[in-house]
């Protein structure tokens, strides 16, 4: 398969959440979240009431994918930052560690300049965390048979039937 | 690319409905959306033109329940079927875990079905997947129409690897959940191998 599966454990998940929480605070943003390029939300921090984060994640990934396609059409590798300005709220989108999308939603209590500045700092921190995740995944894979037992190795037809029984 | 979150105990899988224009991909999702318990579904998002032709994708998140203590979440996507939207189709296949091919049973659409499968094969390859390996289900939709080609004839023309095949009439829901269940089964069984 083209991209390896993303497997996230508690330790890294907590680190990611801490990094997002700091970014939200330092940039005065309302919401900060991380989505993988396929549209699945990885983590989110901030006030998410009245926010459909699943749809937001999927549309963000669609947006980034379409913009990537546009970039390649005109001979660019990518447009690494997307910014959408609204009357009240704004969305700042950037790519982290080549595979995940960092989204910051902010209003007049912050500014584009501040968000960009703080995003840059958070990006290098997140880059490091994702490097660890990739290394850990590679390690787990190499001693797969010894230590790591997938919780799904015992999955049965009945388990799957039960999912559709309601 | 299945996303397994051990911290939140969640598995997220991506399923794409593929097929020629007007074959009923969006109708499949619409029926699933209408018949799913509100607590288990998110919003159905449709990026469509004013005439209801899919422009980029439809998206429906579904929470099916738990397997081995993990919440299973399926993200269902459709692609735009019209030939000239190929660039968009390619993007939506990124990170796909399973594909449902919705074929239009009408005689006049048989060539379009075959063309769309060839296109799927090529686009999967471009994303690094192999159609002969990836979880894959074939649906013969619009069985209620008088011009429908017999199922065994469609099977002969469209089947590529003995994949599970279902007859469907998407607006009334015939075959819709059977199709979804079959692809979900393959995707989850795929996890078992890893």
Domain assignment of residue A89, yes or no: yes
CATH of the domain at A63: 3.30.450.30
Band of residue A1 on the pLDDT scale cut at 50, 70, 90: very low
Average pLDDT for A2-20? 83
Alpha helices in B16-145 (DSSP H): 25-35, 86-92, 110-126
Counting the structural domains of chain A, the total is 1
Q: In this complex, do A55 and B59 lie within 8 Å of one another by their Cβ atoms?
A: yes
Sign of CA dihedral B122, B127, B133, B136: negative
In our burial notation (b when 16+ CB lie closer than 10 A, e otherwise), range A5-36 reads ebbbeeebbebbbebbebbbebbebbbbbbbb
Tens of pLDDT, residues A70-97? 898 899 988 889 999 999 999 999 999 8
Q: Would you give the distance in Å from CA B134 to the centre of its chain?
A: 12
Domain assignment of residue A16, yes or no: yes
Tokens found for residue A86: 């609204």
The verdict on B4 touching A (C-beta cutoff 8 Å) is yes
B144 CA to chain A: closest CA distance, Å? 25
- The pLDDT value recorded for residue A128 is 94
Domain assignment of residue A5, yes or no: no
Q: In this complex, do B128 and A52 lie within 8 Å of one another by their Cβ atoms?
A: no
> Which residue segments constitute the domains of chain B, with CATH numbers given?
3-193 (3.40.50.300)
Tens of pLDDT, residues B88-136? 899 999 899 999 999 999 999 999 999 999 999 999 999 999 999 999 9
Q: In this complex, do B181 and A14 lie within 8 Å of one another by their Cβ atoms?
A: no
Band of residue B181 on the pLDDT scale cut at 50, 70, 90: very high
B94 CA to chain A: closest CA distance, Å? 6
Band of residue A148 on the pLDDT scale cut at 50, 70, 90: low
Contacts of B12 in chain A (CB under 8 A): 40
Contacts of A38 in chain B (CB under 8 A): 1, 3, 14, 94-95
Contacts of A151 in chain B (CB under 8 A): 68-70
Domain assignment of residue A47, yes or no: yes
| Residue range of the domain that includes A55 | 10-163
- The pLDDT value recorded for residue B173 is 97
- The pLDDT value recorded for residue B9 is 85
Q: Where are the beta strands (DSSP E) in chain B?
A: 3-5, 10-18, 45-48, 54-67, 70-78, 98-104, 136-141, 165-167
């Amino acid at each position: 398969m083209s991209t390896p599966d993303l497997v996230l454990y508690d330790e890294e998940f907590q680190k990611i959440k801490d990094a997002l929480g700091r970014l939200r605070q330092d940039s005065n943003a309302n919401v900060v979240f991380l989505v993988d390029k396929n549209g699945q939300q990885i983590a989110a921090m901030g006030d998410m009431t009245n926010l459909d984060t699943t749809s937001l994640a999927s549309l963000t990934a669609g947006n980034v994918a379409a913009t990537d396609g546009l970039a390649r059409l005109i001979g660019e590798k990518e447009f690494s930052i997307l910014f959408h300005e609204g009357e009240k709220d704004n969305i700042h989108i950037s790519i982290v560690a080549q595979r995940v999308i960092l989204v910051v939603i902010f209003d007049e209590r912050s500014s584009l300049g501040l968000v960009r500045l703080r995003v840059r700092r958070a990006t290098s921190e997140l880059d490091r965390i994702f490097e660890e995740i990739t290394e850990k995944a590679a390690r787990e894979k190499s001693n797969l048979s010894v230590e790591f037992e997938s919780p799904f190795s015992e999955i049965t037809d009945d388990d799957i039937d039960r999912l559709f029984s309601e | 690319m299945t996303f397994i979150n051990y911290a939140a105990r969640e598995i997220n899988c991506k399923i794409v409905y593929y097929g020629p224009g007007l074959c009923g991909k969006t109708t499949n999702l619409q029926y699933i959306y209408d018949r799913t318990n509100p607590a288990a579904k998110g919003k159905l998002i449709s990026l469509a033109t004013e005439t209801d032709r899919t422009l980029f994708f439809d998206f429906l998140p579904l929470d099916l329940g738990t397997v081995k203590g993990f919440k299973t979440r399926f993200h269902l996507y459709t692609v735009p079927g019209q030939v000239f939207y190929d660039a968009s189709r390619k993007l939506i296949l990124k990170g796909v875990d399973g594909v449902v091919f919705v074929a239009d049973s009408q005689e006049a659409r048989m060539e379009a079905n075959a063309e769309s499968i060839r296109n799927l094969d090529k686009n999967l390859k471009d994303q690094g997947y192999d159609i002969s390996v990836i979880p894959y289900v074939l649906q013969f939709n619009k069985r209620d129409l008088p011009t429908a080609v017999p199922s065994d004839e469609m099977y002969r023309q469209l089947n590529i690897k003995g994949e599970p095949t279902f007859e469907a009439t998407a607006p009334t829901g015939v075959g819709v959940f059977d199709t979804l269940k079959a692809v979900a089964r393959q995707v989850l069984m795929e996890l078992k191998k890893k």
